[in-house]
Amino acid sequence: MILASLYGASGPVAAADCEATPNAGIDWSGCSKANLMLPSSTLTKAVLSGANLSATDLGSSDLTEANLEKATLIRASLSGATAEKANFSRIEAYRSNFSGIKAAGASFAGAELQRTNLTEADLTGADFSKAELSRVNFSKSTITGTRFSLANLARAKLTGATFKGPIAFDEAFLFLTRVEGLDLSAATGLKQEQIALACGDGQTKLPTGLTPPPNWPCKHD
């Protein structure tokens, strides 16, 4: 029975190696790696699901196609990291620094990213469906093709973000979301009741059929 539990249909089942140094394809699933200095690490296709990386510095690291599902990254730094097609779904990353991250095609579905810094990030084609994004700063980020369906963007800042073509806001919560100066004419899923909650200005462009509410520009607290 013991041997059977260690072997699958195709051979031995790999176990997490929490003591190993960072390398491509490493399995740190469920490991405690909090409060560490690991900048510029190579973690391509690493398995970090469920790992505790709180307050850890992974700035400028390569996390391409890494799996961080359900990882804890509270106050962690991934500033300047490369994370194309990485899986950040359902992570906890309150007050973290993801500024300048290159995360095209990454999934942040269901992630909790309250007050996280995502300025100047490449989020082309990223998926933030059902994510908690209150007070997240997306200023100067690239959000072409990004999906915010069912996301909570309350008080998030999109001012200065750049994108071409549609981005999805189906049933997103846009309470005091900063969209000043943005051309949202190609955005999908937007409804008048969402716009009524958001904060735009005279330069904000809306999809056909939607109109700026009388409270624009908003007074901010």
The overall average pLDDT reported for the chain is: 93
Sorting pLDDT into bands at 50, 70 and 90, what band is 4? very low
Q: Give pLDDT, residue 15.
A: 60
**Residue 51 reports pLDDT greater than 80:** yes
SS3 193: helix
Q: Give pLDDT, residue 221.
A: 60
Q: Give pLDDT, residue 1.
A: 40
**Residue 124 reports pLDDT greater than 80:** yes
Structure tokens at 120: 């100047």
**Residue 5 reports pLDDT greater than 60:** no
- Average pLDDT of the segment spanning 168-191: 96
- Average pLDDT of the segment spanning 156-180: 95
- Average pLDDT of the segment spanning 118-144: 98
Percent of the chain with pLDDT over 70: 92
- Average pLDDT of the segment spanning 147-167: 95
**Residue 13 reports pLDDT greater than 80:** no
Structure tokens at 154: 């309350």
* Residues near 158 by beta carbon (within 8 Å), at least 6 away in sequence: 138, 139, 143, 177, 178, 179, 182
- Average pLDDT of the segment spanning 40-61: 98
Q: Give pLDDT, residue 165.
A: 84
Closest to 91 in 3D by CA, of 75, 108, 114, 115: 108
**Residue 7 reports pLDDT greater than 60:** no
Rounded to two decimals, the pTM is 0.91
For residue 112, the one-letter residue type is: E
Rg of the chain over CA atoms, in angstroms? 19
**Residue 164 reports pLDDT greater than 80:** yes
Q: Give pLDDT, residue 159.
A: 94
Structure tokens at 138: 């997306």
